Amino acid sequence: MATYKRELRAELKRKALEPETNYLNITAMMDMMTIILVFLLKSLSTSTATIPQSTDLELPKSILTTEPDAEPEGLVVMISKSNIIVGDRAVCPIPPDAKDYGIEARWKRGTRNDYYVVPLGAALQDWRSTDKRIRQALGKPDSYSEAIVIADSQTPYRLLTEVLFTLGQTEFAKFHMMVLQGEKK
């Protein structure tokens, strides 16, 4: 009887299958989903900013087909057909005759020929002082700030130079111009 039992155990051991995993390994599944999500986000995103296109703001099309070197960071200054917007706040209306004279004289320091736009400068100065305090708290050197300028395709040159001059006067030294990517050839 002992020999029979020994032979039976040996035969059962020889024919035994390895135990299968009958459960879902959630850790491996989460790792896989994270990798897929990162891949999709990286491949589908081409810009950090989503600009709503409307009749008031149509971005110009670029003739360049290359990608930018780095993603721009900084304060967003939008120049639409009707307003200058800093961040998410409209700071100065744009008159219909801005192509000839730029912003109206009542929004400037002196005459209509001045390039400094006072309400824009005040909004930029508020943001700049906040940026300085953040840099001090983080222990970073106080350098010039950056701005992302988003202008309508029909923005007059005079108006654009007034905005850039005001940015320069409020310690913004680096500007990024936002455009639509050109067609690939």
Instruction: Specify if 142 maps to a domain.
Output: yes
Q: Are residues 36 and 105 in the same domain?
A: no
Residue 152 has pLDDT above 70, yes or no: yes
pLDDT per residue over 2-23, tens digit each? 899 999 999 888 887 776 666 7
Q: Are residues 119 and 165 in the same domain?
A: yes
Q: Are residues 27 and 108 in the same domain?
A: no
Q: Are residues 100 and 161 in the same domain?
A: yes
> What is the average pLDDT across 128-139?
85
Q: Are residues 92 and 158 in the same domain?
A: yes
CA dihedral sign, ordered 97, 118, 52, 75: positive
What are residue 2's phi and psi, to 5 degrees?
-65, -40
Instruction: Specify if 30 maps to a domain.
Output: yes
Instruction: Specify if 59 maps to a domain.
Output: no
Torsion of CA 112, 126, 170, 101, to 10 degrees: -20
Domain total for the chain? 2
Higher local confidence (pLDDT), 44 or 69: 44
- Burial bucket for residue 162 (CB in 10 Å: 0-12, 13-18, 19+): buried
Per-position DSSP letters for 47-73, written without gaps between them: -S------SS--PPBPS--SPPSS---
Q: Are residues 115 and 168 in the same domain?
A: yes
List the structure tokens of 12: 């059962």
Q: Are residues 30 and 94 in the same domain?
A: no
Range of the domain at 82: 75-177
Q: Are residues 34 and 93 in the same domain?
A: no
pLDDT per residue over 78-87, tens digit each? 888 888 989 8
> What is the average pLDDT across 127-144?
83
pLDDT per residue over 30-63, tens digit each? 999 999 998 888 777 655 455 666 667 777 777 6
Helical (H) or strand (E) element with 35: helix 26-44
Instruction: Specify if 112 maps to a domain.
Output: yes
Instruction: Specify if 134 maps to a domain.
Output: yes
